[in-house]
Structure 1
């Protein structure tokens, strides 16, 4: 017991000496040092939380890609829909229409400097993962949806007419809109909720998913 008490006293003296040394060198009070340490501990906690969230998001992305890879490589899968177990994802009923980059949908002509550029800054495209418009209060920028009979849509755009549970699906031409879509009310699946931003690199990464290239040509023909 005496030895333990002795060690505790030595530790206390060393701690006090350390505080005094730092205070003298930096012109800070002990209270200031306590505040500084608390602040740095809080910063570390915030950084840890952010890092954990990023790792979780990467893990979710990897799980989706692994599921797609396994399904696409198996015999008998003839459609993009078969590559996911859609019952694993939350769904939402929406009214979906089609749009183009043209004047009839956006009021812009090819001469306009922002022609074909979405709200997120990435160009419109119809691909494995196509750009779509949504109410970003419902589906934030970057949200990935699976839309039956259309495929994957990534929320990249918004619009004054797209309010609430409405989405607008990009097609390269008016004819493609009428031939392939029109207007439908249906259930869509939320594969990944967006963070509020989307880059061209993000979209390219999605579209280069090797497991899904077998389905890409069919989409690009529209």
Structure 2
């Protein structure tokens, strides 16, 4: 073999080896890329919650929101039922008192008397700093929802009663003689006490038991809602 031929054969072998090396390196790189892609996919799969998890989470959130809405609706229904029981009405000054469907409420038989804010009932006259202020802190009131006195062991502060012949009474006060099943109804004058009420044995209806708290805002809200209802 001539020297030229040997040189050409050597170059061909080198070229062939180079091509093989490049191909091998390319294959290795491709394999590494595949491995990297598989690892990335595995990591992504770990980060992603399953479709079932997402669905369960969404359903749980929807259920929670529905429960909140239902609770708010139930609370609103309770307020409306406790403050304005539906039925016929009777006139009271410029407004009207909603007379509840009495069959749905607890009935309690009591002895009911009347009292005023004056000296004859409370020992206080208008010059007294606590004149007209009840045990609960609210002022006496004769309205659609009036203030009354009761034994707090029987009817806690804030209890709403319907008293036939008088209207709604909200327990706001106490009295030394008001024990057990006795209540004292507020009237503006002594004449009103004697002419409009006196002393009676009467069945009263518990619209709502109080929680021991009564404020001017609560009492005002009762009467405001009653006024709006009566004007409809």
Shorter-chain TM range is 0.5 to 0.7
Find out whether 1:92 has 2:105 as its counterpart: no
> Please, which runs of 5 or more residues in structure 1 have no aligned partner?
1-51, 215-222
**CA shift in 2, pair 1:81/1:125, >3 Å:** closer
Deviations 1:111-134 (A, max 9, x none): 111000000000001000000000
SS at match of 1:208: helix
Other structure's SS at 2:120 match:
helix
**What is the aligned partner in structure 1 of residue 162 from structure 2?**
146
Unpaired stretches in structure 2, ≥5 consecutive residues: 1-70
Determine whether 1:212 maps to 2:230: yes
Residue by residue over 1:152-202, the C-alpha shift from the partner in whole angstroms, topping out at 9 and shown as x without a partner, is 000000011100000000000000111100000010000000000100000
In terms of Rg, which structure is larger? 2
Q: What is the 5 A alignment of 1:48-127?
A: 58-65=76-83, 67-68=85-86, 71=87, 77-78=89-90, 83-127=99-143
Instruction: Tell me if structure 2 keeps the 8 A contact 1:81–1:148.
Output: no
For residue 108 of structure 2, give the secondary structure of its aligned residue in structure 1: strand
Q: Does the CA-based 8 Å contact 1:100-1:172 persist in structure 2?
A: yes
Q: Return the alpha-carbon distance in structure 2 between the equivalents of residues 113 and 137 of structure 1.
A: 28
Give the alignment partner of residue 182 of structure 2, picking from 166, 177, 184. 166
- 5 Å-filtered alignment, 1:172-191, equals 172-191=188-207
TM-score scaled by length of structure 2: 0.62
SS in 2 for 1:93: strand
Name the TM-score, length of structure 1 as normaliser.
0.65
Given that 2:97 and 2:230 are in contact with CA atoms closer than 8 Å, whether structure 1 keeps it comes out as no
Distance of 1:175 and 1:125 partners within structure 2: 16
Match of 1:36 in 2: none
User: Alignment partner of 2:191: what SS?
Assistant: helix
Q: Please, which of 165, 178, 192 is the counterpart of residue 208 of structure 2? A: 192
